[in-house]
Amino acid sequence: MALKWLHYAKYANITTLKKGLQMKNKKFLDFNVQYDTFLEDLEDLIQKNKDKIHSLLAIQNKTFDNFVKPLSLIDEELNQFITPLTHLNSVKNSSQTQEIYTKMIPVISTYSTQISQNKNIYNVFKAISKHKNLSDEQQRVIELNILDFKLSGAHLNEKTKMKLQQINIKLDELSNQFSQNLLNATNEYNYIITDEKDVNNLPKSDKNQISFKQNGITKYKLTLQAPIYTAYMTYGTNRAIREALYKAYTTRAPQNAELIDEILRLRFEMANLLGFKNYVEYSMASKMAPSSKKVLNFLQKLTDASANQAKKEIRELQSIADIKLQSHDIAFYSEILKQQKHKINQEDYRPYFEQTKVVDGLFQFLQQLFGLTCKSIKLELWDKKVKVYDVYIKDELKARLYLDLESRKNKRDGAWMHNWQTHGILEDKTTQLASALIVCNFPSSDEENPSLLRHDDVVTLFHEMGHAIHHILSDVQQIGVSGVNGVQWDAVEYPSQFLENFAYEPEVLRLFARHYQTDEILPEALIKQLIHAKNFQSALSMLRQLEFSMFDLQIHSKLYQGQQIQIILDRIREQTALIKPPAYNKFQNGFSHIFAGGYAAGYYSYKWAEVLSADTFFQVIDEGIFNSKTAKKYLDIILKKGGSYNMYELFEQLMKREPMIDSLLRLNGIN
């Protein structure tokens, strides 16, 4: 029973009690971390789990109900215990969370590896797999666990198991260190501007956010946090400052280069010990895609389909610039070109995308599409701006949702969904409800300035909500395959990408795109401009994502070290980077998706899943969004069934055919 938090960092009501978790007569657990006793409580809980497993193994006639189910609940309980700390280490990082988290990693990793390598448990699963009258959910739980045991080396000798255990502990420590180095580098950098002409072109809301007074003089502080960095790279007129920011951003955490070497070496060694040629083969064993060869062919096909259009896009961009474009110029001139071609200015939209109105409108959309209702509740949590909602379908309480949407210091960059409790039936036959957290880094609000979003931020929120409802709307009884649990990694982006596509639809935009001061609905002309500009430079964007995917697969296909990694990236960029990045660009040192997350040898999953999402989306659009039969079936077949079936089977059940790559090209406006 591998602990999922160690492998699914993209997703990762807890009461920390001396003797474990208790939730009798409670729908949801409380968010509360007792820092002083956390490690002691963790050791107590692990020992309790070991005693429980020992007693389960002593059962004479083992069945799914008396062995597999209680074992899966042990896993759930431990995940619930550690989730608040892992979450706080990302959203309210401090020396205290770092210290406890760092000490926790080897404890959890050792325990997880020992359980997943336990040959006695493995043999019980194999025996129970032969039992008759198992439900589809039960069979799926057993099937996935047997695969987990094999991928953990349960069938190997003790010496090899011990080596794998040491590798797992070290990899978890290295991933944490990689992430922390990146966060520290982001927090430490700032660039002070004293000449106002260098910020005059910035949107008012961004300019207000970076201004401060020192000795009576107004100055401006740029940082590498996403909203500020993106704003200056897009609107900042001082080219030298843009280059300085770009260089700082792409050279963050240089010490991560050594960590990458060690991570790749350990992954390669682990794959070999488990009988795989390389880490790619190991990764593909649990994916939906049939083979790495199929994936590489898929990526190459997309590259070939995008290349000519991307070259045209870059020529068009160069034609409006009075300089030879460099990497730090692309966002700035792209914004100018976008305004020229589509008469679109992102700042015209931001007053219509006030954060609270967008969230309320998103909930209204989900209510009309799926019958889902979100009711606000008040809880004291890690930050006063965190909002909490209880989620209902009709009048039935279904789940709890936490939204932490604004950027702040000591919060990890990016956006993600972190699953918490999982829907399922407990041993006492009561139902555990689901909970999830959505984290973003939108512009911060204060008493004078609301959080006004770019449309890209709106798309991001829809994306993460797609992940969240995939987890919390599950009707699956077995926790091990409920919600996002058990979903193949290259299918997990399907629900998020499906939902994000609706952020461009006029019917949906009219639900929430209202001016924060006048309540005026976003004018029709601006909606049309937004849609026309949707696929602006889409081929360049496609090549960028394909670059990440191919780099990820290639560096995991053999044991590469040191300069070899840069050589591989440069070789791939000959196909994908139409403006060559400067030699100092060390993108890989910040590629946390594969070095500190769950996407190692799996970053291709974004494009693989996008085929499914595009296919489904166009079916709903063609039927009419709010009258779509496919949308209702999507709720029942995709969302409610979680990971209880192979996603490929669920897709075919929904669409009555295989997925078509042409839908992905159509979605991106690529011929």
- Residues serving a catalytic function are 464
State how far the alpha carbon of 668 is from the alpha carbons of 306, 538, 539, 573, in Å.
10, 6, 8, 21
Q: Identify which of 207, 203, 230 has the alpha carbon closest to the alpha carbon of residue 218.
A: 207
Tokens 């200015």 identify what position?
A: 345
Q: How far, in Å, CA of 605 to CA of 289, rounded?
A: 9
**Taking the CB of residue 404, how many other CB atoms lie within 10 A of it?**
22
Q: Identify which of 575, 612, 602, 574 has the alpha carbon closest to the alpha carbon of residue 304.
A: 575
Q: How far, in Å, CA of 8 to CA of 470, rounded?
A: 15
Which residues share a beta bridge with 436?
401, 419
Q: Identify which of 170, 173, 177 has the alpha carbon closest to the alpha carbon of residue 257.
A: 177
Residue 358: half-sphere exposure toward Cβ, Cα within 13 Å:
25
Angle subtended by helix axes 256-273 and 563-576, to nearest 10: 90
Contact 635, 466 (CB under 8 A): no
Contact 36, 53 (CB under 8 A): no
Tell me the longest C-alpha to C-alpha distance in the chain: 80
Contact 237, 198 (CB under 8 A): yes
End-to-end CA distance of the chain: 45
For residue 112, give every residue at least 6 positions away whose Cβ sits within 8 Å of its Cβ, in sequence order, or none: 2, 3, 6, 168
| H or E element at residue 397 | strand 396-406
Q: How far, in Å, CA of 409 to CA of 187, rounded?
A: 7
Q: How far, in Å, CA of 332 to CA of 63, rounded?
A: 62
SS3 state of residue 372: strand
Q: How far, in Å, CA of 572 to CA of 35, rounded?
A: 46
Contact 101, 176 (CB under 8 A): yes
What token pair was written down for 446?
């204060």
Single-letter amino acid, residue 532: H
Contact 128, 142 (CB under 8 A): yes
Q: How far, in Å, CA of 355 to CA of 366, rounded?
A: 17
Q: How far, in Å, CA of 275 to CA of 475, rounded?
A: 37
Residue 77: half-sphere exposure toward Cβ, Cα within 13 Å:
22
Which stretches does DSSP call E strand in 256-371?
none
- Work out the burial of residue 265: count CB atoms within 10 Å of its CB; fewer than 13 is exposed, 13-18 middle, 19 or more buried: middle
Contact 401, 468 (CB under 8 A): yes
Q: How far, in Å, CA of 282 to CA of 26, rounded?
A: 41
